Structure 1
Amino acid sequence: MRELPDVYRKLLVRVYSNAILGVKNTVRELAESTNMIDDHLAELCNYMKNEKFISESKGEFGLTGIGRKRIKVVFTGGVFDIIHPGHIFALSSAKKLGDALVVVVARDKTVLKNKGRRPLNSEENRLDLVKALKFVDVAMLGGEGDIFETVAKVMPDKIALGYDQKYDESELKREAEKHGLSVKFTRLGSRMPDIKSSKISENREIFKEF
């Protein structure tokens, strides 16, 4: 399989991302979101239709199975209560694992259930902060039940786990298989393991050494 030029790969990522978010993939929308002029975008879409990477119906484009195989989707998640350098390092590392990075932000109720306290920032504010990161292609709120319901919607190629997330990778693999999902797991490292949102809220002096 020949290497796909970056411009086509990025456009496939945008078509994929919009579909996950429920955004219509029209020429106008794609041109605006990729900073391309309409005519050039239309030419690229025609090429990808001919290659069967995308399909078109009533002026809207969708990713085909062939097109989906040409991009790698990475899935990760967390609370992201206070965005700090550790988050930036982890998420930028996750992005390097594939073409599209999907970040799931934990719901307020999920944080309360798992940590025994509410986050400092609301789920909507935390979602907006993650959306603002340039290397995040899709930021979305998680569900309140089985995490694999969200994974099934995204259908990632890889799931990137945070260095301090207390998940048993073997158990996750078994659960993925139960849901009919074929996905690889990887554990992200941390350049700053002592920096955590909970510690920052308790002690702002933690940044003085950086």
Structure 2
Amino acid sequence: MTHVIAQGTFDILHPGHVHYLRDAKAFGDRLTVIVARRENVTHKEPPILPNRQRRDMVSALDPVDDARVGHPDDIFAPIEEMEPDVIALGHDQHHDETAIEEELARRGVECTVRRAGPRDPEYEGELLSTGRIIDRILEERG
């Protein structure tokens, strides 16, 4: 059985998230999703929704077999614990595959890092980004 781990913030779920998780699941047989803790999100605005709510929403999606909130101090700790075969990155996530592979090797974790493909909007006006959803809400209702 091929175990895949995907990770992300997953604030305000949208079709781009579903696409990413479907692609991730296609890399193997079992998909575990690690939802970033609010306090660990430093590359963009912190999520609006609480950690557990984001985890529960992700857990309810069909491709997901298990979802958990990330480690408070070490983002690699759950990966070391679960020893996945594949780590799936979203097509637009800021992570550097080589840096991840090097850190995994340093920790003795043998797995492949793969990136999901992009998802183009299926219709005009479809929003595939939490930031764009928030911007639209502020434009129309702010």
Normalising by the residue count of structure 2, what TM-score does the alignment of the two structures yield? Answer: 0.87
Deviation at 1:118, TM superposition (A): 2.9
Deviation at 1:181, TM superposition (A): 0.6
Alpha-carbon distance between aligned partners in 1 of 2:36 and 2:76, rounded to the nearest angstrom: 13
Q: How far does the alpha carbon of each residue in 1:159-180 deviate from its partner, in whole angstroms, 9 at most, with x for none?
A: 0011111122111111111000
Match for 1:196: what amino acid?
A: S
Higher RCO structure, 1 or 2 (CA under 8 Å, sep 6+): 2
Superposed, which structure 2 residues align to 1:24-173 within 5 Å? 71-111=1-41, 113-115=42-44, 117-173=45-101
User: Which structure is larger by alpha-carbon Rg, 1 or 2?
Assistant: 1
Match for 1:109: what amino acid?
A: E
Alpha-carbon distance between aligned partners in 1 of 2:43 and 2:73, rounded to the nearest angstrom: 12
2:124 corresponding residue in structure 1 = none
Alpha-carbon distance between aligned partners in 2 of 1:164 and 1:149, rounded to the nearest angstrom: 23
Q: How far does the alpha carbon of each residue in 1:71-90 deviate from its partner, in whole angstroms, 9 at most, with x for none?
A: 00001100000110111111
Alpha-carbon distance between aligned partners in 2 of 1:77 and 1:118, rounded to the nearest angstrom: 15
Q: How far does the alpha carbon of each residue in 1:126-149 deviate from its partner, in whole angstroms, 9 at most, with x for none?
A: 011001112200100001222211
Normalising by the residue count of structure 1, what TM-score does the alignment of the two structures yield? Answer: 0.60
1:5 corresponding residue in structure 2 = none
The number of residues matched between the two structures is: 133
Alpha-carbon distance between aligned partners in 2 of 1:134 and 1:165, rounded to the nearest angstrom: 22
Match for 1:158: what amino acid?
A: V
Unaligned segments of structure 2, at least 5 residues: 122-126, 138-142
Q: State the identity %.
A: 39
Answer yes or no: is 1:177 the counterpart of 2:105: yes
Match for 2:128: what amino acid?
A: I
Give the CA RMSD over aligned residues. 1.7
Q: How far does the alpha carbon of each residue in 1:94-114 deviate from its partner, in whole angstroms, 9 at most, with x for none?
A: 111111001000111112x33
Unaligned segments of structure 1, at least 5 residues: 1-70, 205-210
Q: Which stretches of structure 1, 4 residues or longer, exceed 3 Å deviation after superposition?
A: none
Alpha-carbon distance between aligned partners in 1 of 2:83 and 2:17, rounded to the nearest angstrom: 23
Q: How far does the alpha carbon of each residue in 1:3-53 deviate from its partner, in whole angstroms, 9 at most, with x for none?
A: xxxxxxxxxxxxxxxxxxxxxxxxxxxxxxxxxxxxxxxxxxxxxxxxxxx
Alpha-carbon distance between aligned partners in 2 of 1:168 and 1:181, rounded to the nearest angstrom: 17
Higher helix proportion (structure 1 or 2): 1
Alpha-carbon distance between aligned partners in 1 of 2:104 and 2:87, rounded to the nearest angstrom: 11
